Structure 1
Amino acid sequence: MLLRPPGVYRAEGDTQLLTDVMCQGDFADGRHVLDIGTGSGALAVAAARAGAASVTAVDLSMRSVIATWLNSRLHGAHVSVHRGDLFTPVTGRRFGLVVANPPYVPAPTAALPRYRKARCWDAGRDGRALLDRICAGVPDVLASDGHVLIVHSSVCDTDATVEALQRAGLSPELLARATVPFGPVMRSRAALLESRGLIRPGQRFEELVVVGARHA
């Protein structure tokens, strides 16, 4: 159970899928872990429980920073929490594991909300506003033997994530996938997604994917 103040992302199926991959693959054990866009701190707490040497969590939202700090203490997990934009608070540091469950839902406009609940999921017109930045920037914080694990919906193009990681000099692979029904946000945008050709007419499910990568 995690505390989740209003405006903080609720850990759902995508968080669980990434947690399962992280734990089953022993990616966190003994490593210094960075959780980008931590939300309620679910992944950070899971990494600490999975034997991480240290866990650092970053989020742009002050509410998320507070929620992660509280949840890590409540669960006895030592997590260092920072407020900031993606990798900015950890410039110059390297991590053995980077995990990310960023906003990835295609939105009506390219503008990213800063102070509304929609900031938890809106990611530009194609859903890749944060994904592409993470793929481009993660090599700068990844240790030479480190891994990055990213979860998102195939609606925002799994191949594009693989290609973005390759352009960044990493060697990516698809580690897991799971088909789930649309949640409330995706259902509310089904017509928009259909009009852009991102889903088939009448489609009301999505495939969640975990893409992993390491230095080539």
Structure 2
Amino acid sequence: MSVETIAVGAESVYRPQYDSWLLIEALERSNAVAGRRVVDLCTGSGVVAIAAAELGAREVTALDISPGAVCSTQANALAAQVDVEVVLGSWSQAQEHGPFDVVVCNPPYVPVGPETSVGEVAATGPMVSWNGGPDGRSVLDPLCRSAAAMLAEGGSLFLVQSEFADIEQSLASLRMSGMDAKVVADQRIPFGPVLHAQMRWLRDSGRLRHGRVEEQLVVIRADKL
């Protein structure tokens, strides 16, 4: 079954969107997955984990703190007829199951203002799946600092995020941990319901130029030297 046709399942799970597909496309172009041990952090519906399995990964583990996401990933992997070990737990628990050859992650990275209305963006998925805190980096910062410890020698991290969560900070943090980090994919997309719901706050906080309704998504690849 193609990943594009996988049903999301539970309503409490982040729905695959542009960032999910961009991350999968980067994995496809990288040739880094086949025959290797992969972990998908913050897996949500499991769409990236399933794609890794379909790309020939030797072993795939998927982690999420949401019981709904765990159930959805298990159901979607069964429907796609691929083997994915699904673990209920935080992304930070990956070190207990590693090291891995490839770490992939679509983390919560959206900067969220104090007046964001969850009701306006509920169709995107639960707030915890995209809320990256006031600067978008509540998960990105600790993830970038600890990524190298999750990886085997010669392993690679593939991470997707928005420009509004400071791409250069992620690159700098990964490089400081001794990894070779660079942007390997990017895409401009129209604002979805999350950013539309907080456009005023983004402008008032200096993150968004007036009249702009697009954001840049990037995939960062960081290789452990």
User: Mind listing any 5+ residue stretches in structure 2 that lack a counterpart?
Assistant: 1-5, 119-124
Please give the per-residue CA displacement for 1:157-179, whole angstroms capped at 9, x wherever unaligned: 11011011112221101101100
Q: How high is the TM-score relative to the length of structure 2?
A: 0.90
In angstroms, what is the RMSD of aligned CA positions?
1.4
1:136 equivalent among 145, 168, 171:
145
Aligned AA (2:208):
I
Report the equivalent of 2:130.
Answer: 121
Count, aligned residues: 211
Match of 1:168 in 2: 177
Report deviation, 1:89: 4.8
TM-score, normalised with respect to structure 1: 0.94
Gaps of 5+ in 1: none
Residue aligning to 2:3: none
Partners in 2 of 1:21 and 1:13 — Cα distance? 12
Deviations 1:40-62 (A, max 9, x none): 00000000000000000000111
2:36 aligned with 1:31, yes or no? yes
Check if 1:206 corresponds to 2:211.
no
Report Cα offsets for 1:43-85 as digits up to 9, x if no partner: 0000000000000000011110111111111111100000111
Q: Deviations over 1:123-163 (max 9, x none)?
A: 10011111111111111110101100000111111101101
CA offset digits 1:91-140 (Å, max 9, x no partner): 1621111000011111124xxx9xx9211111100111111111111111
Aligned mates of 1:92, 1:181 — CA distance in 2: 37
Residue 8 of structure 2 contacts residue 15 of structure 2 at CA under 8 Å; is this kept in 1? no
| Alpha-carbon distance in 1 for matches of 2:31, 2:144 | 22
